[in-house]
Amino acid sequence: AVGTVAAAVAAFLLALAAPKASSFSPPTSTAPSPAGGATAFRPAAPSMAQPHRRPSSSSRSRPALFAAARKVEKTDAQWRESLSPDAYYVLRREGTEPPWSSELNSVKSTSGGTFVCAGCASPLFPARTKYDSGTGWPSFYDPVDTDAVEFVTDFKLVVPRTEVRCKSCGGHLGHMFPDGPEPTGMRYCLNGLAMEYVSMEDDPELAAEVERRSEAAAGKGGGEIAVKPPVGSLLPGIALNGAFTVLLISSFLAPHPPDANPVFEYFPLAAAAYTGYVTVRDVSKLL
Q: What's the pLDDT tens digit per position in 145-157?
A: 989 999 988 877 7
Catalytic: which of 117, 120, 169, 189?
189
Weakest-pLDDT range from 67-81, 127-141, 245-259: 67-81
Is the Cβ–Cβ distance between 47 and 103 less than 8 Å? yes
> 199 or 28, which is more confident?
199
Phi, psi of 97, rounded to the nearest 5 degrees? -80, 160
Which pLDDT band holds residue 272 (cuts at 50, 70, 90)? very high
The better pLDDT of the pair 90, 11 is held by: 90
- DSSP per residue over 70-134, as a string? ------HHHHHHHS-HHHHHHHTT---PPTT--GGGG--GGG--EEEETTT--EEEEGGGEE--S
Report the alpha-carbon angle 23-28-34, nearest 5. Answer: 160
Question: Measured in Å, how far apart are the chain's first and last C-alpha atoms?
Answer: 38
Phi, psi (degrees; rounded to nearest 5) at 124? -115, -55
Q: Is it the case that residue 130 has pLDDT exceeding 80?
A: yes
- Taking residues 269-284, what's their average pLDDT? 90
Active site residue 117: no
Is the pTM here over 0.75, yes or no? no
Tens-digit pLDDT profile for residues 180-226 = 998 888 899 999 999 999 999 999 999 999 999 988 888 765 556 66
